[in-house]
Amino acid sequence: NEDIEKAEVKFIKEFKQKYNLNYDLVIAKDSQNSRNYRADGLPTKVLIDRKGVIRYAFTGSGNEEELEKWIKKLLAEK
């Protein structure tokens, strides 16, 4: 439904602005990403390294310390 898609885009833009996020957010057109990344709940965090390999996947809230550790580790890799 076009109205639902427009509402999603509006929500994402407002969310990004509200929290001053400096990275892009996307909306999937189908469930292929959910299947690819085994995202069976919200939120799902997936970190993909520079080579395109999934290095971390976590479903649910919390665990920010572990996520930060993984981000720093991946950023340090060449």
| Cα dihedral sign, 15-21-24-25 | negative
- Say what the pLDDT of residue 51 is: 92
- Summarised one tens digit per residue, pLDDT across range 7-48 is 999 999 999 999 998 888 888 888 888 888 778 887 888 889
Q: What is the pLDDT of residue 14?
A: 94
Total-model pTM = 0.57
Report the candidate in 26, 30, 1, 4 with the shortest Cα–Cα distance to residue 15.
Answer: 26
Read off the pLDDT of each residue in 52-65 and give the average, rounded to a whole number.
85
